[in-house]
Amino acid sequence: MQCDLCPHYCRLKVGATGRCQARAATESGLVSLNYGLFTAICVDPIEKKPLYHFHPGTNILSLGSFGCNLNCPFCQNWEIARAKRPAVAELSPDEVVHLAEKSAREAGSIGVAFTYNEPLMSIEYLLATLPKLQAAGQKSVLVTNGMINPEPWRELLPYVDAVNLDIKAFTPNFYREVVGGDLATVLAAAKMLFIAGVHLELTCLLIPGLNDELTEIGQLVDWIAAELSSEVPLHFSRYFPRYRMNNPPTSLQRLKEAVDLGRKQLRYVYAGNAPELGEEYTGRSPF
């Protein structure tokens, strides 16, 4: 059988698991393996998502599961996203709402961020939970690679309040060769979210030698200004060696150059993972 959730269109025999490790074929059809299972539960400052322009100064209950449809060799959360870490909790949609309300009372949380792994791999769970959060007055945030097909996105959009979308590079080749993904799908998702009025912030991790050429960064900035808006916040994030990648960390100079380049066209451009650059470059930094 074929899974149509993302552009991988995995064709699976009974017993097989998709590339995301989160969906499998059974005798009774495709099933979500991570439904209601969580491997990480925290209350974080909203800026840590990073979202700098969505209820700044508040906290948000942050939930991670497992599974991801990309295979980034530099994954910063690989223990959660890729590893078979046992779930620390199984929560029904109603239990997530109750936890969100408790977190609002006790920790000033504004809702729930689905983060750490790729939340869109739990689409059935999101479709069951986000309407309940909305009805309870709780915000729903996704920290995502954006790479699912337009139809499931359209189903989800009415219930999503804010998204931090990772744009991993601005070349189809990087998406295809380095992370196993599809740039066009991600850009289409960014446009769809923006047009739908979802609060959108973008993140780009700059990796030396792979996606940090100023020409490519300039093309990304041009695209955001032309296709979205100069008001959409952009976070350039500093890479450090992690998981299966040993390239040296992003230089502070290149990070600064990227921010300066972005600010020629965009109003809100920040540097993440780089407290050395100071407040001018980091905004209200959680780091």
Q: What's 54-99 look like in SS3?
A: CCCCCEEEEEECCCCCCCCCCCCCHHHHCCCCCCCEECCHHHHHHH
67/272 with CB nearer ligand SF4: 67
Number of other CB atoms surrounding residue 201 within 10 Å: 21
Residue closest to ligand SF4 (Cβ): 18
When the beta carbons of 10 and 210 are compared against ligand SF4, the nearer one is 10
The least CB distance from residue 13 to ligand SF4, in Å, is 13
Distance in Å, CB of 24 to ligand SF4, minimum: 8
Nearer to ligand SF4, 180 or 218 (CB): 180
**Residue 167 Cβ, how far from ligand SF4 at the closest point, in Å?**
19
Residue closer to ligand SF4 (CB basis): 138 or 144:
144
Q: What's the distance, CA 27 to chain centroid?
A: 32
Q: Which residues bind ligand SF4 (CB under 6 A)?
A: 3, 5-6, 8-10, 18-20, 23, 69, 121
Nearer to ligand SF4 by Cβ, of 192 and 225: the residue is 192
Cβ 147 to ligand SF4 shortest distance, Å: 8
Instruction: Tell me the sheet residues that pair with 32.
Output: 23
Bridge partners of residue 163, in order along the sequence:
142, 200
Q: How far apart are CA 205 and CA 228, in angstroms?
A: 20
Give the span between the Cα atoms of 168 and 145, in whole angstroms: 8
Smallest gap from Cβ 18 to ligand SF4, in A, equals: 2
> For the chain, give me the number of helices (H) and strands (E)?
9, 12
